[in-house]
Structure formats: structure tokens, C-alpha cells
Structure 1
Amino acid sequence: MNWISDVVRPKIKTLFRREVPENLWIKCPETGQMVFHRDVEANQNVIPGSNYHMRLGAVQRLKITFDDGVWEDVPLPEASVDPLKFRDEKRYTDRMRDARSKTNLQDAIKVGVGTVEGTPITIAVQDINFIGGSLGMAAGEAFIKGAETAIARNTPFVIFTASGGARMQEGILSLMQMPRTTILIDRLREAKLPYIVVLTNPTTGGVTASYAMLGDVQIAEPGALIGFAGPRVIEQTIREKLPEGFQRAEYLYDHGMVDMVVHRHEMKATVARICRFLTRQPKPATLPPVQADEEHVAESHPA
């Protein structure tokens, strides 16, 4: 046994080794730019320079939207965990357990009530990290509970969508959530309460085919993929090359599918302003300072 090479050298290397976190740097998916992760977090998960909007979890979204990052969690009803006893590469119950452990959420939608620039608002957020933000029975119940809470408290209802569509592990039971959520949107309109949809990257499938496109005002984050089927599936079906930027937020705005494309730094102020306008509430005497200067704020399109 060679003590110099087998024992002494490894101990010396261990002595001077520095542990470096794996997520110390973030690579911009659009430009390939390497950015220090703390700079991205401080910039609301927007890449400085390219303005690429990274995905946000439900809790992160609520923190940057509600005043002082404070809100009241709305208790959500439980749903059957595995009604079809579904199994593909792994059991559905195992997927649910892993998703709950990863996100600390019970399902793909989280609902909170609080104030946004002094205006009381009920907000629901889909978390793309929970099985792709898919719409199942529990997520449908969460949407319904959020809408009912808005009606009970007489507040606007805002949802931030991020989803790959209906949850296949629940079969037709997930598809049934599409008409159920639509009924609650009708109830919001009967109560004369605003229903605002903020489309984030990505919003596709059955979510787009239901409550995601039924808002009184449709807002999208820059570069968000929004559609029913994905671009690759469409190209393979019609055997034609799609236009540049097809199904992206800016393309949809140019073709009248969304009302506004708003940078994340301006989203809070925009949502609050629209809710005040639609509920005829006065502008607060004092507003919080703008979170980003003009250099970092992308163009916002008026409705």
C-alpha cells in the first residue's frame, strides 16, 4: 500500500476542497448567458440582460404579488388520490408523494387572499413543478374554492396559469374539471366580480381549453408558450412549418388572443390597476415604489 498516494494525498485534497452548490449559476435558456442565481432570484426570476422569464413556483408567485409578501392561505378540499388505480412507469400514488415532497403543496393549485397595492384580491396560482401543473380533481376543487372565496369576500379573482393540460392519470375525471371550473366563472360574472387570467410559460392543453382563456382580461408574461397542442405536434399533423414565434405571448397579442403582454416587474401594478378599474375603487393615496427601472422593464401593451 502506497501511503503517500493512497492516504496522504486524498486527505490533503479534502482539507482544501470547497463545496460549491450545484445551482450557483443559472444558464439562460434563450441566450446561454450564465448568471449568478442570487441575481436572478433578486430580479424575480427574470434573467438580467435577456429579460427571459424563468418559471416561478406557487409560493414564489404569491410572495411577489401580495403586499409585503403576506397573504391568508385558503384551505382547499381534499380529493381522491388515485381513483383509477393508475400505473405507468410508476404508480400514480408514488408520483403524488414525490410531487408533494418536492413542492410542499397538496396539489397543483394554491389559493391565497390578501391585498395587492391595497386592493383585496383572491389569487390562485398553478405550480408547474407539481406534475406539470396538470389539472386533476384536486386542482379543479382548488379553482372552485378560490372562485367561491372571491364571491364570499366580494373580491376580484385572479389566476396565474402554468400547466401542461389535464392529468392523464385521472382520465375522464380530470376532463370533467373543465366544465366545472367554467360554471364558477359564470358565477363570478353573475356576482359582477372581475376574473383576471395571467398566462405564464407554459399554458397548454385542457387548461387553455377552459378557464385559462375565459378571463375578463387576458394578460400574458413575455415569451410564454400558450396553446392547446404543442408546436411540434401541430407541425407533424399539418406537415407545414409554423410562423416565427407561433403560440408565444407576443404572437397571440398581435392576433387578438390576449389583451396585454406585461413584464413580471410590472405585473403586480398592472393587476392591481385593472382590479381597481373594474371594481371602481379609488387609487390608494400611496403606492409602493416601482421594483425595476425602465432598463429592465419590457414593453407592456395596453388593452
Structure 2
Amino acid sequence: MSLSEWLITKRNTTLEKNIREVDLKVPEGLWIKCNKCSLLMYYKTLEKNLKVCPQCEHHFATTSQDRIKQIIDNNTWQPINNYLTSTDPLGFSDRKLYSKRLEDIRAQTGLFDAVQTGLGKISNIPIALGIMDFRFMGGSMGSVVGEKLTRLIEKATIDKIAVIIICASGGARMQEGMLSLMQMAKISSALQKHQQKQLPYFPILTSPTTGGVTASFAMLGDLILAEPNALIAFAGRRVIEQTIKEDLPDNFQTSEYLFKHGFIDLIVSRVDLKKKLYQILSFYYNS
């Protein structure tokens, strides 16, 4: 352990001890520890930094509502197809009925499904934005996710504006069977028509972006952006190792590995994302 690491550990240990010894009730959720560097900080400090650790730049999970605030200009967000909800066409049941699972998750998250879509502006440039939310069944791509993203892209094509999709997903939603897999082709087809009009599309890959989402619209952008150290994959690491009978590099399926091998174009911190998107959009609209 280096001297700096020892000092950080010592400071955090002392701080935690002092908090326990204070003869006051510390409100729950006031403090949070970084999963990567163990920095202990006020939760408000983390929120102010867009849920990025100020010491090691570890990107904490965040919500679709937070991302709207982080990227879109104030008072310009216009949600579209906000109340579309999935049904249970297969009558699927595992440990719980799919219909009941949907009902519970809607109550927990306040979301109707795993993606929010709408129109807004980034530094006064109009865009169409889709934000996947991992809290809703792992951001899985069901029929509503596919329908909302397709409608968003079609609206952007009519309005002649750029599409940005922030991806966070475990892949296709198994509870909807073939209906979920159809969304890969449906969204990709809408993007093809959008790009035929010479309109830009930028996916932003966050942790995790996996499965059918990676195999379709997440990798179809004019420029593909990703957050640092994001997990980006199709199949799981263990499945690949068992298939090829080889050990994979430690950083396999990370943003940095994919950037090095040419699968993505830019790695951008969440703190700098709005500024970087403005630069890219300005280039497209002014060229």
C-alpha cells in the first residue's frame, strides 16, 4: 500500500469512528463511500459532482431523471410517449407473475418502463433523447422500450434533429420472448431511415450495456461515446471463457479496452458530457 493510500484509509477510518462516537443521530444517506477508492464523502458532494467520485472519478449509478437534469437545458425537456406500458402477452411467470413484477417495479421507481424519451435542448441545440434506466428490470429491452425509441427516432427524422440514446441495459427482456428480440430490428430500421436523411445519431454507453442492446442500436452511431470504465459486452465474461477455453484480460469488456480496439470513438466523463455533446452537435450542424 502506498503512503497516499494509507493516509486515505487512515483518514476515512478516523472519520467513521468519529461519526459513530458523536452523541447525535446522523441522518441516513448523509454519507457515502466510494466503491473504488473508499473515499468517504457527503452524499450532496457526490450529487453536486453528477455522482462521479471527486477523487478517483468512479462513476456511480444514476437515474434517467438525473441524466435529464445533467444534459438538457432547464425548462426545455418535453417527454413523449411517457405513459406507454408493457402488458403480459405470454402470461409469463417465474418466481412472480410478470404482470405483478411490472406493477411492483413501477411503484418502486415511479417509471412506466425502462426508458424515458423526449425532446429537449443542449446549449440551445434541439435534440431527441432516450435514456434507459437500469432500475427498471435491469434496463431490459421489452416491447415498450423498442416502441418508445422507435417513435423517438421517427419524430427526430421528421423534425430533422439529432438522436442521442443513453444506454444502460442487461439486454432483451426474456419475459416477452420473441417480442423483445423484434425490437432490435425495429429500432435499427428506424435508425437506418434517420441516417439516410444525413441526420446524426450518438449512443452513449454506460455501465452496463450488454446483450441485445449492444448487438443493435448501441453500436450503430455516427460517433459512439462511453463513460469511463463502463461494462460493455454482448455475452458474459464467463460464457466467453468457457467457449474459447482461454482466460480473458482483466480489463476485457471495459470502455478502455473497446476504445483501444476501435469499437468506440470517445470516452467522456459524465462531468464533461454536456460540453462534449455540444461540441459534437455544433460540428454537425455548422459543417
TM range, normalised to the smaller chain?
A: 0.7 to 0.9
After superposing on structure 2, the runs of 4+ consecutive aligned residues of structure 1 that deviate more than 6 Å are: none
| Structure 2 match to 1:264 | 270
**In 2, are the aligned partners of 1:76 and 1:145 still within 8 Å (CA)?**
no
After superposition, what is the alpha-carbon deviation per residue over 1:201-254, rounded to whole angstroms, capped at 9, x for unaligned?
Answer: 110000000000000110000010001012233223333221121110011101
Query: Secondary structure of 1:146's match?
Result: helix
In the alignment, the residues of structure 1 paired with residue 218 and residue 38 of structure 2 have an alpha-carbon distance, to the nearest angstrom, of: 31
Amino acid at match of 1:273: Q
Count of aligned pairs between the two proteins: 266
After superposition, what is the alpha-carbon deviation per residue over 1:152-197, rounded to whole angstroms, capped at 9, x for unaligned?
Answer: 2221000000000000111111001000011001111122210101
- The one of 230, 238, 244 equivalent to 1:238 is 244
| Structure 2 match to 1:199 | 205
| Structure 2 match to 1:32 | 38
Between the aligned residues of both structures, percent identity stands at 43
- The one of 137, 146, 149 equivalent to 2:152 is 146
**In 2, are the aligned partners of 1:194 and 1:279 still within 8 Å (CA)?**
no
Structure 2 portions without partners, runs of 5+: 1-21
| Structure 2 match to 1:253 | 259
**In 2, are the aligned partners of 1:62 and 1:69 still within 8 Å (CA)?**
no
Structure 1 position 18, deviation (Å)? 5.3
Structure 1 position 33, deviation (Å)? 2.6
| Structure 2 match to 1:280 | 286
| Structure 2 match to 1:88 | 94
Query: Secondary structure of 1:162's match?
Result: strand
Structure 1 position 76, deviation (Å)? 4.4
Query: Secondary structure of 1:227's match?
Result: coil
Query: Secondary structure of 1:159's match?
Result: strand
Amino acid at match of 2:283: F
After superposition, what is the alpha-carbon deviation per residue over 1:94-132, rounded to whole angstroms, capped at 9, x for unaligned?
Answer: 211122112211111101211101111111000011100
Counting only pairs closer than 5 Å after superposition, residues 164-183 of structure 1 correspond to structure 2 as: 164-183=170-189
Change (3 A) 1:90 1:21: farther
Over aligned residue pairs, what C-alpha RMSD do you find?
Answer: 1.8
| Structure 1 match to 2:11 | none
| Structure 2 match to 1:110 | 116
